[in-house]
């Protein structure tokens, strides 16, 4: 591991000041939450010196706030904590199950949704789920917070829209409307401890007749960034979410995908399996949504 300095600011303002100072001096600073990506990278692919800015002590990044219309999840909250929050799990089962897929029990004591998003891997498990549930990034910046929809946050493989003097405070979501539920599925060759070969996050809303009135489908590990596939959503809206509709959404995902062949899977494989996961995740979201048509989760 390369040399590094460590600071642990206790407020958003303090954290911004540290980042700003580094940015203005052209010095490297990197925000640290759980460190399950950053620390591994420092030991392997990127050993250059830097200042680690640990945001776990910033109250806002550790807050879960379930409001009347909106829910906020702090960027640094470990997934083990999220998983223990029954109310959150009931609201966004897909988001929480995506976080629960990352790493082992020990890793989940540290790993955060914010970190997963800022790592900005095409295969990041939480990202399709966050997009499906219309997550919006709340970014701390000098002039005040700014907001960016999750689907616009990641700009490329390992890159995002954060400026060097900004950091992610958390993600907010509109609370699900009646008849709305989400689901996330990923494909790995093992049962756990792996990285998605393909991922699919889906949120659907159905009315009392079982007709789909809204849908968001996001797919991971099949393009440089996670994709919001509007044509898949279009294929679902207005249908009974029957096999034909699911099949059409799957085809839209295959068409939207522009994967590469690598050690984890081939182009052909990923294009096929993204359709399978889209179908299966949509079916799960649909079945969950049916239970909620008459009962608002909150």
Partner 1 sequence: MSEAIDYKVIGTRPIRPDGVDKVTGRAQFGADLNLPNMLYGRVLRSPHAHARLTRVDVSKALEMEGVYAAISRADFPENPSDLGKNIMARDKVLYHGHAVAAVAAKSLICAEAALALIETSYEVLSPVLSLDEAMADDATLLDDECFTKNLPETPDKPSNIAAVMTLSRGDVEEGFEQADVIVEGDYNIPMAHQGYIEPHACIANINESGQGSVWTCTQGHFEFRALTAKVLGMNVADLKFIASEIGGGFGGKTTIYLEPLAVLLSQQARRPVKMMMTREEVFRASGPAAGTHCKIKVGARNDGTITAAKAWLAYEAGAFAGAPMGPGAMAVFAPYDLENFHVEAFDVLVNKPKVAAYRAPGAPQSMHAMESALDELARKLDMDPLDLRMKNAASEGTQAPYGPKFPAIGLKECLEAAKVHPNYTSPVPEGAGRGVAVGFWFNVGMQSSAEVHINENGTVTIIEGNPDIGGSRASMCLMAAETLGVPYEQIRAVVGDTESTGFSNVTGGSRTTFATGMAVIQACEDIIGQCKSRAAATWGVDEDQVEWEDGQAIPSPGVNADVKPLTLADIAGNAAKTGGPLLGRASLNAQGAGASFSVNMTDLKVDRETGKVDVLSFTAIQDAGTAIHPAYVEGQMQGGAAQGLGWALNEEYIYDKDGVLENAGFLDYRIPVASDLPMIDTQIIEVPNPRHPYGVRGVGETPIVAPLAAAANAIRDATGVRINDLPLSPPNILAQLDNA
Applying CB under 8 A, the residues found at the interface with partner 1 are 1-3, 44, 47, 187, 189-195, 197, 262-266, 268-269, 272-273, 276
- Closest contact distance (angstroms) between CB of 286 and partner 1 is 18
How far apart CA 211 and CA 227 sit, in angstroms, is 25
Residue 158's alpha-carbon distances to 116, 162, 174, 253, 295, in angstroms, are 11, 12, 27, 22, 40
- Closest contact distance (angstroms) between CB of 252 and partner 1 is 17
- Closest contact distance (angstroms) between CB of 254 and partner 1 is 13
Q: Dihedral of the CA atoms 259, 260, 261, 266 (nearest 10)?
A: 10
Tell me whether residue 105 or residue 209 sits nearer to partner 1 (CB atom). Answer: 105
Which residue in 164, 118, 139, 160 sits closest to 21, CA to CA? Answer: 164
Tell me whether residue 190 or residue 294 sits nearer to partner 1 (CB atom). Answer: 190
Task: Sheet containing 4-7: give its strands across.
Answer: 4-7, 50-54, 29-32
- Closest contact distance (angstroms) between CB of 268 and partner 1 is 7
Which residue in 134, 121, 132, 126 sits closest to 108, CA to CA? Answer: 126
Tell me whether residue 13 or residue 193 sits nearer to partner 1 (CB atom). Answer: 193
- Closest contact distance (angstroms) between CB of 276 and partner 1 is 4
Which residue in 226, 229, 207 sits closest to 216, CA to CA? Answer: 229
Residue 6's alpha-carbon distances to 24, 139, 182, in angstroms, are 18, 22, 38
Tell me whether residue 63 or residue 272 sits nearer to partner 1 (CB atom). Answer: 272
Tell me whether residue 147 or residue 268 sits nearer to partner 1 (CB atom). Answer: 268
Q: Rounded to 5 degrees, what are φ and ψ at 139?
A: -110, 130
- Closest contact distance (angstroms) between CB of 167 and partner 1 is 27
Contact yes or no for 231/274 (Cβ under 8 A): no
How far apart CA 135 and CA 153 sit, in angstroms, is 10
Tell me whether residue 177 or residue 193 sits nearer to partner 1 (CB atom). Answer: 193
């Amino acid at each position: 591991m390369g040399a590094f300095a460590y600071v642990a600011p206790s407020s958003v303002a303090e954290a911004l000041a540290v980042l700003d100072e580094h940015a203005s001096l052209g010095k490297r600073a990197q925000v640290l939450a759980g460190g399950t990506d950053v620390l591994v990278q420092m030991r392997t692919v990127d050993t250059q010196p830097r200042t680690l800015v640990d945001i776990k002590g910033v109250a806002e990044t550790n807050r879960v706030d379930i409001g009347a219309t909106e829910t906020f999840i702090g960027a640094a909250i470990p997934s083990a904590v999220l998983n223990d929050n029954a109310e959150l799990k009931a609201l966004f089962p897909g988001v929480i199950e995506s976080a629960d897929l990352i790493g082992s029990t020990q890793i989940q004591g540290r790993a955060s949704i914010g970190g997963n998003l800022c790592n900005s891997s095409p295969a990041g498990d939480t990202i399709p789920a966050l997009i499906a549930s219309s997550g919006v990034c709340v970014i701390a910046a000098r002039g005040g917070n700014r907001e960016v929809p999750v689907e616009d946050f990641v700009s490329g493989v390992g890159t995002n829209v954060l400026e060097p003097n900004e950091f992610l405070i958390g993600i907010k979501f509109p609370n699900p409307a009646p008849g709305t539920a989400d689901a996330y599925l990923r494909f790995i060759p093992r049962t756990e401890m792996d990285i998605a070969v393909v991922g699919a996050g889906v949120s659907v809303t159905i009315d009392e007749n079982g007709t789909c009135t809204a849908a968001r489908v996001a797919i991971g590990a099949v393009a440089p960034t996670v994709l919001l596939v509007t044509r898949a959503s279009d294929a679902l809206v207005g249908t009974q979410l029957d096999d034909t509709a699911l099949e059409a959404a799957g085809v839209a995902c295959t068409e939207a995908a522009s994967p590469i062949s690598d050690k984890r899977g081939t182009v052909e494989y990923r294009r096929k399996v993204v359709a399978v996961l889209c179908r299966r995740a949509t079916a799960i979201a649909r079945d969950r949504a049916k239970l909620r048509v008459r009962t608002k989760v909150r």
